[in-house]
Amino acid sequence: MVLRMKKTDSELNSPRHPTAVIGLVMDFFNPRLLEGARTYAEEHNLRLDARWSVRGDWLPNDIPWDGLLHGIVDNPALVRRLKKLSIPAVGLVAGSAEFCVVPDYKACGQLAIEELVRYGIAHVLLDPEFTTSPLDFNFNRGAYSAALQKGLSVSRRDSFPEKSFQETIAIAVREILLLPKPVGLCIPHAGWSYSVINALLKNGLRIPEDVAIVVIDKDVQQTAALAPVSLTSVELNEWHRGFVGTEMLHQLVLGYEPRHKLLELPPTGIHGRASTGHLDTRDPVMGKALTYLRKHYREEIGVPEVVAVAGASRRVVEMRFRETLNCGIHEELNRLRMEDAKLLLLEHKLSATDIAQACGFSSVHYFSAAFKRDFGISPRQFQKESARTPPV
């Protein structure tokens, strides 16, 4: 995306326009954004002062800049200081300046839902806004609209009560435990999801077999990649944000008003990792096999189809399942079908024959026998007992 200027490039870089100095101030370091800003500055004979792009709170009071590019996430006092500077400014956070260049977080939420659908998720938990920031609000808005459009079942709260970090983790995990599995967790914050994964694993849940997770990759610490189970992430176009933000600021410094006051840049795509069953360099066989199982277990498939998709011998695939899940391919396929069947039985809407067919069992007799073997009672007895059990 290149903004149209009122003057040509040759006019803007002529000797009549001396080299301008622009400052980049942030409290949340972003190396790709810095690189995009630097590229534009070098191409247009600008001097970029990025000394306070890591610790904006260290900024002195008397900096002789011609323009300011700023992205302040969580420092209201610094925001107030910057607003007092009488120089052209472009914000990298929505609402922080008259002119802003920001990620399209609504599109990020939509992309996250599309990834969960590709994995085979039919029920999602959209966690509430942690703050009133445009990031949380727009991400959740995009995810919710996409989930409804895709026909997903959605569990959603308007907001968390005012709790500590650990308390919000505990609340989310309790809700996840009560939801039908598999469930998709759609949340922009990788750091928060990192802690959720730890708590889910302690409660015996598996990622992504029981809970699939998508976040936004915005952490310089590489939190998404280094989580206990690496997190699939929406990739922001941060290099482009730095480039376009500097371009917009250049126009203001030269006295020309940009065409747009707010530019929202769409994400570049999805970085698939283990939290949605993508290939993992540690075990590509399981990535393929589990993705296939998640999508097709309701169909009449068996072990041969899973092995064919995994791209390895049956012995190797079986060994990977035993090492990772402590069960074989057939056992995992049967578990997925049984979990589905239990939920349908609890609804008391379908007959055992219809449930067997809907969940991929070859016959109602096989379904009934397998159910009694796994749970010690028949499907009909399970329905009767669940009807007598008071709700929690």
pLDDT tens digit sequence for 138-151: 999 999 999 999 99
The number of folded domains in the chain is 3
Distance of CA 62 to the CA centre of its chain: 40
Q: Within a domain: residue 4?
A: no
> Is residue 130 predicted with pLDDT exceeding 80?
no
Distance CA 1, CA 254 (A): 20
232 and 162 in one domain? Answer: yes
Quick check: is 208 in a domain?
yes
Does 47 lie in the same domain as 110?
no
pLDDT at 7 over 80: no
Residues 76 and 220 in one domain: no
Answer whether residue 382 is part of any domain. yes
Position 79 in a domain: yes
The answer to whether the peptide bond before residue 128 is cis (omega within 30 degrees of 0) is: no
Please tell me whether residues 221 and 254 are part of one structural domain. no
> Which residues does 286 contact at the CB level (< 8 Å), separation at least 6?
280, 310, 320, 321, 324
314 and 210 within one domain: no
How far apart are alpha carbons 295 and 284 in whole angstroms? 17
Q: Show the DSSP H helices in 181-268 as ranges.
A: 190-202, 223-226, 238-253
* pLDDT score recorded for residue 390: 44
CATH number, domain with residue 244: 3.40.50.2300
Residue 235 DSSP SS3: strand
The answer to whether 234 and 207 have CB atoms below 8 angstroms apart is: no
In a domain, 301, yes or no: yes
Tell which of 256, 276, 296 closes a domain. 276
For 96-107, give the DSSP string: SSSSEEEE-HHH
Co-location of 210 and 324 in the same domain: no
- The reply to whether 112 and 227 lie within a common domain is yes
Alpha-carbon distance values, 226 to 185, 282, 375 (Å)? 18, 13, 38
**Structure tokens given for 103:** 């990620």
User: What pTM, to 2 d.p., does this model score?
Assistant: 0.69
The per-residue pLDDT for 69 is 96
If asked whether residues 302 and 254 sit together in one domain, one would say: no
Tell me if 99 sits within 8 A of 91, measured CB to CB. Answer: yes
With vertex at residue 130, the alpha carbon angle to CA 128 and CA 131, rounded to the nearest 5 degrees, is: 125
**pLDDT at site 180:** 86
Q: Find the helix or strand (DSSP H, E) in which 25 lies.
A: strand 21-26
1 within a domain of the structure (yes/no): no
The pLDDT tens digits for 10-33 are 444 444 455 899 999 999 889 999
- Domain enclosing residue 122, as ranges: 105-236+270-276
Output the pLDDT for position 392.
Answer: 35
Residues 113 and 210 in one domain: yes
2 located within any domain: no
Do the Cβ atoms of 336 and 297 come closer than 8 Å?
A: yes
Separation CA 194–CA 227 (nearest Å) = 5
Tokens coding 245: 């933000």
Q: Find the range with the poorest average confidence among 51-60, 283-292, 300-309.
A: 283-292
Residues 355 and 291 occupy one common structural domain: yes
Alpha carbons 378 and 237: distance in angstroms, whole number = 54
Rg (CA), the chain: 26
Contact predicate 94/102, CB 8 Å: yes
> Are 133 and 191 in the same domain?
yes
Lowest-pLDDT range, 67-81, 163-177, 246-260? 163-177
* Band of residue 136 on the pLDDT scale cut at 50, 70, 90: confident
- Do 153 and 226 fall into the same domain? yes
* Closest C-alpha among 256, 246, 258, 239 to residue 21: 246
Using an 8 Å Cβ cutoff, are 106 and 140 in contact? no
Mean pLDDT, all residues of the chain: 85
- Residue 243 structure tokens: 């480039």
Residue predicted with more confidence, 51 or 288: 51
3-state secondary structure of 124: strand
Percent of the chain residues past pLDDT 90, beyond the cut: 42
Alpha helices in 311-363 (DSSP H): 314-325, 329-347, 352-358
CATH number of the domain to which 346 belongs: 1.10.10.60
Tens digit of pLDDT for each residue in 30-72?
Answer: 999 999 999 999 999 999 999 999 988 888 888 889 999 999 9
- The CA distance from 112 to 117, in Å, is 9
Is the pLDDT at 279 greater than 50? The verdict is: yes
Tens digit of each residue's pLDDT (9 = 90 or more) over 85-119: 889 999 999 888 899 999 999 999 999 999 999 88
